[in-house]
Amino acid sequence: MATKRSASSSNTEKKDVRKMKSGTPSGMESNPSPAAGGEATPNGMNVEALQKYADAFDPRLLLAKVSAGKSSQVYFTDETIFSQGAGADAVFYIQSGKVKLTVVSKNGKEAVVAILPEGSFFGEGCLAGQLVRMSTASAAERSAIVRVEKRAMVSMLHQDPEFSERFLAYLLVRNVRMEADLVDHLFNSSEKRLARLLLLMANFGQESKPVPLIANMNQETLAEMIGTTRSRVSFFLNRFRTLGYIEYNSGGMYVHDSLVSVVLHD
């Protein structure tokens, strides 16, 4: 009887091995997929490597292949792309420009959640079963937006492993950024939060090349993003300018890399 149990156990283990080889669960695969060109997958990467992996892929190349379920539209400053509470049935991609995400509480108080730059996805909550929008998306400046219906996006994620992995890497990087934003709000002073926000908007510390000149932004919006008052933002901006960390010109605000000293100072 002991011999029969041993043989049965051995057969079961062989079946399990065959199952794992034929379809390894997501998150456990260590080898790159053939479609990824032999590159490493996001699994096990550190944040810096994950950022490089996500930045190395241009989703526009694949979005261009999508014919059904895709549309493009240009939105002007403050024009609404979708509203909080509306049906969530599509994912959006910023071809050019910037998008502002805001949330309004039951008491009517509005808060700016994020300012998304060119190359960002938003509205992807529908892929996780979100039925209505949790925020309002509007153009922070003239923006070209691609809308991909949920069904078309899901199909692309299933059919193209490389796109799926890069999209996952993008979401993971953004999640890390959101966690850092939360820590920043909890433990840093409003002056440090403003300095960090300006550096992020100018792309400092990112894999892509810094863009020191950022478009003029309403001080009220900056205040909402860092959780302080407009008067405090005005005070800190004037201080940054006096110290030579920022400059103003007709094109907007020029952010010097020396501003990082405000973030690092204890």
> What is the per-residue pLDDT across 53-73, written as a single tens digit (0 to 9) for each?
666 667 787 788 787 889 999
Helix%, strand%, coil% for the chain, nearest 5 = 45, 20, 35
Once rounded to an integer, what is the mean pLDDT over residues 217-222? 84
Q: Would you place residue 228 in the very low, low, confident or very high pLDDT band (cuts 50, 70, 90)?
A: confident
Q: Which of 100, 101, 140, 92 is nearest to 120 (CA)?
A: 92
Q: Tell me, yes or no, if the two domains 42-181 and 189-264 fold the same way.
A: no
pLDDT more than 90, % of the chain: 27
pLDDT of 199: 85
Statement: residue 260 has pLDDT above 70: yes
User: Domain spans of the chain?
Assistant: 42-181, 189-264
Once rounded to an integer, what is the mean pLDDT over residues 121-149? 93
CATH of 42-181 among 2.60.120.10, 3.20.20.70, 3.40.50.300, 3.30.450.40: 2.60.120.10
pLDDT of 210: 57
pLDDT of 88: 95
Once rounded to an integer, what is the mean pLDDT over residues 125-142? 93
| 3-state SS, one letter per residue, for 47-78 | HHHHHHHHHCCCHHHHHCCCCCCEEEEEECCC
Q: Would you place residue 114 in the very low, low, confident or very high pLDDT band (cuts 50, 70, 90)?
A: confident
pLDDT of 50: 63
pLDDT of 55: 63
pLDDT of 143: 95
**Helix/strand/coil for 133:** coil
Once rounded to an integer, what is the mean pLDDT over residues 18-35? 39
Once rounded to an integer, what is the mean pLDDT over residues 31-39? 40
Provide CATH code, domain 189-264.
1.10.10.10
DSSP H helices, 23-160, are 47-55, 59-63, 150-159
Helices 230-242 and 190-201, packing angle to 10 deg: 70
pLDDT of 26: 38
pLDDT of 216: 73
pLDDT of 205: 60
Contact between residue 177 and residue 116 where contact means Cβ atoms under 8 Å apart: no
Q: Would you place residue 5 in the very low, low, confident or very high pLDDT band (cuts 50, 70, 90)?
A: very low
CA distance 140 to 144: 11
Check residues 186 and 31 and name the one with the higher pLDDT: 186
pLDDT of 16: 45
Q: Which of 264, 178, 259, 265 is nearest to 214 (CA)?
A: 259
Once rounded to an integer, what is the mean pLDDT over residues 170-196? 82
pLDDT of 182: 76
